[in-house]
Chains A and B, each alone.
Chain A
């Protein structure tokens, strides 16, 4: 009889499980007429102009952003400025998340008020998920070159930077070439921002080493070998550099994007950032997109307008990133000249891998990185 009970309860359990595994009927959150309009607007004109957009956004009153650490390209300030300017409450979710986490979070919280409204994604993830974005052209859409945007406005490059070496000048000498990092002066001091098989910044760091050692976007092996050498020499610290590790002196040398490195001046006064001299720099752009199912569509679109306005672009510049409209702003004289000139000088041809090259390199890393830095 006990086995019969077991069978009955198993069947019941499976039934419940099957039911629970299906999605519930979509509940209309009833954001109202303006919400529906904003969700399909492809430009501010669709809503009746910028003022109407601002009004609709203020009515929504909230914005969810995701994966924006405060010290990444000055996002802390950007969020605060936007919130104060329009009186919109910005919720910064999962600041440590990676690009894939942003997409996953959007899928996971779809239909709720907690879903992210906008994305800031790395190249690989951005181009793999274009079906999730809403098409929207900001006011300054035409200032941006064709290769930096989707023609319908599904995604747009927002800022870029180059891989650089940040270091505490009080603790280590300036690296003149990449081989310097193998020397005794750097023992137990060098950190890469993230695992290259997981994080875009880590990946680009290995690519930078590869290019410096004679490789290219088609051959990342020299980079992997270089890091393997660094690990064996005891110079590589296998820890993600954070504000805390830099401040406490655990990771005085950091291989990361130049703009993220630039932010560490706030942690350690003697922090300096340098691109490798006489080496083609490895560059990368990030991609802005609006969640097609954004719970606050008007606020999301206003956020994009803000980011691509002169004010927004200059705020990114203040964080050490190169804003995408820099050329147009230099011509119009609206760029923050002092900060623009203070950016590290770039020599050589930037190396920006295509999607195919990235996939090939990632596969190589997946097979060889773990063993190389054991």
Chain B
């Protein structure tokens, strides 16, 4: 639809400007991480990363954490949000505030408050880095809520639900087979930001003395400035590739066009 040549040019220019803004600092980091002595270029800092065994364990832990967090978040949040929209609309503001609350409390303070809770978690589930899933689900709530809400507000969920119910569908079918496919873009966005958040989370894991990817990377970086910058860039690249793969997998399940 938007095929006017003027628009295409504007689009390319704007995209280029955005690219300069976002890639500029990343390139500066790449420049620093490959600096050798006397202005030479070296990949030594990057080689350091591959050789660390603790890092591999931490990467696996972070990947598992992001998987569990996304699954638990979707299981908890999606039915709740759909239900609130369809059946308990008066709870919308409350839900919105509750889902924004984790963001208003700095991680430092959350850790202070969550100490006792986590002692219970450790008591029941043993001491494992995957225990972080529970607090991570809470951390991703604000972002996931907003992404799913954006999608939910753009479809007429009530009419769809009424139509399906009048045709005899149960609530499970309404949620699972009618609404969810229509908000797939929102679910995917929510999953994206959740994975990115879990992979990038440092403060809470570090303060609770767990070892996730960012904690190990930070420790690695202490030994050498170039390595720390290389490690951060590597983490960004890693997360980017992961999300790209996720987007490919996600898109292939999307139906063509919208269900009207």
Contacts and interface: CB of A to CB of B under 8 A. Distances in A.
A16 to B, nearest CB: 10
Contacts of B208: 108-109, 114
A244 B206 CA distance: 21
Interface string B202-223: 0000111111000000110011
B15 interface: no
B90 interface: yes
A94 B207 contact: yes
Contacts of A104: 207
A21 interface: yes
A247 B111 CA distance: 34
B209 A247 contact: no
A71 B15 CA distance: 43
Given A64-B209, A105-B207, A115-B209, A70 B222 contact: yes
- Dominant secondary structure at the B interface: helix
A24 B123 contact: yes
B209 A105 contact: yes
A20 interface: yes
Contacts of B219: 92, 95
B115 interface: yes
B93 to A, nearest CB: 13
Interface residues of B, number: 27
B225 interface: yes
A20 B117 contact: yes
Given A2-B90, A94-B207, A112 B127 contact: yes
Interface in A1-43: 2, 20-25, 27
A20 B113 CA distance: 11
B210 A114 contact: yes
Contacts of B88: 2
B206 A242 contact: no
B184 interface: no
**Residues of A in contact with B, size category:** 35 or more
B229 A244 contact: yes
Contacts of B116: 20-23
A114 B132 CA distance: 14
Nearest to B120: A24
A267 interface: yes
Contacts of A177: none
Given A108-B207, A244-B32, A95 B119 contact: no
B228 interface: yes
B224 interface: yes
A93 interface: yes
A27 B121 CA distance: 12
B187 to A, nearest CB: 27
Interface string B95-126: 00000000000000001000111011011000
Interface string A65-96: 01001110000100000000000000111111
A94 B123 contact: no
Nearest to A106: B209
A71 B223 CA distance: 7
A94 B209 contact: yes
The 7 closest A-B pairs by CB, nearest first: A244-B225, A114-B209, A243-B225, A24-B123, A247-B225, A24-B120, A108-B115
18 contacts: A20-B120, A22-B116, A70-B222, A93-B206, A94-B206, A94-B207, A94-B209, A95-B222, A96-B218, A105-B209, A109-B209, A111-B119, A112-B127, A115-B209, A243-B224, A243-B225, A244-B228, A247-B226
Interface of A: 2, 20-25, 27, 64, 66, 69-71, 76, 91-96, 101, 104-105, 107-109, 111-116, 242-244, 246-248, 267
